Amino acid sequence: MDTQPGLRPCYRHPDTETGISCARCEKPICPACMISASVGFQCPDCVRSGSGTGHAADANQPRTLAGGRVRKDDRLVTKILIGINVLVYVLVLALGDRFVDELVLIGYAYNPLLGEVVGVADGEWYRLITSTVLHQEPWHILFNLLGLWVIGGIVEPELGRARYVLLCLLSGLSGSVLAYVVAAPNQPSLGASGVVYGLIGAWVVLARRRRHDMRPVALFVAFSLLMTFTRPGISWEAHVGGLVAGALVTFVLVRAPRARRDLIQYGACGVLLLIDVGIVTARTLALT
């Protein structure tokens, strides 16, 4: 990258040039990293190392691109999500098919193993979420955990923990909702792919926001979608639903004006949740 005279790359975001330096350590900082101080601006590292307690310290907390707090462990939620997936997989190995049948996404069908009609349309709405952490095949969970770790490691530090949790929940839920609406009622679906593709959608928006080279991002997305539609046994509905939801949620999170950022961000997430609930309700009425 060619740097214009008087400008230097931000120490946290090398693709963003800036003419502002930290008042304490003199590292170059871009607008996303600038934290108001009594004189000039400070970088997140100096604020974190020199912050006090109380209201003033809270006001000077370093913020992520989406307005969340910068944390020392910026992959904590990703680690917890991976841990949940691993724990559920261990339970699958220990308890077998009956455990899977209790949690898998199914629209409406008679299950001979359980001896009863099951599915979201039978009131088991929890399957829309439990199916997103459920895996049976080793290759399936390994692929999804790799995606969570690599792409989640890019997205979580940019959003902050609370917003990242919302992104993962809404991506997984929206993927399940699309599968519930489009797939056959007796077609089972499981796996964290909806969440992973939600993170991919978020990565696209963040890369665009940071003005990164979009060619490798577009190539990765194209390859991912190619795998989705050409490999047998893949729930393309969960992938597409997660991808679209992740991109939409992240767009609002990073574009919301600072003055009303929390209201717009959480309000938009609430609207998407209501849309999902409305779609599930309509589909349930149609099936029953």
Q: Which of these ranges, 48-52, 164-168, 238-242, has the smallest mean pLDDT? A: 48-52
Mean pLDDT for the stretch of residues 166-188: 96
Q: Which residue has the higher pLDDT, 17 or 255?
A: 255
Rounded Cα distance, 257 and 93, in Å: 47
Rg over alpha carbons for the chain, rounded to the nearest Å, is: 22
Comparing 48 with 22, which gets the higher pLDDT? 22
pLDDT at 266: 96
Residue 272: pLDDT above 90?
yes
In this predicted structure, what is the pLDDT of residue 49?
67
* The two structure tokens encoding residue 2: 């060619």
Three-state DSSP class for residue 105: strand
User: 103-156, pLDDT tens digit by residue?
Assistant: 999 999 988 877 888 999 999 999 999 999 999 999 999 999 999 999 999 999
Please tell me the predicted confidence (pLDDT) of residue 40.
66
CA pair distance 30, 12, nearest whole angstrom: 8
Averaged confidence pLDDT in the chain: 89
Confidence of residue 288 (pLDDT cuts 50, 70, 90): confident
Helices (runs of H) and strands (runs of E) counted in the chain: 11, 6
> In whole angstroms, how far apart are CA 286 and each of 12, 118, 214, 278, 280?
51, 16, 42, 12, 10
Whether residue 38 has pLDDT greater than 70:
no
Which structure tokens are listed for 281? 């309700």
At residue 165, the 3 state secondary structure works out as helix
Mean local confidence (pLDDT), 248-273: 94
Tell me what the mean pLDDT of segment 187-195 comes to.
94
pLDDT at site 87:
97
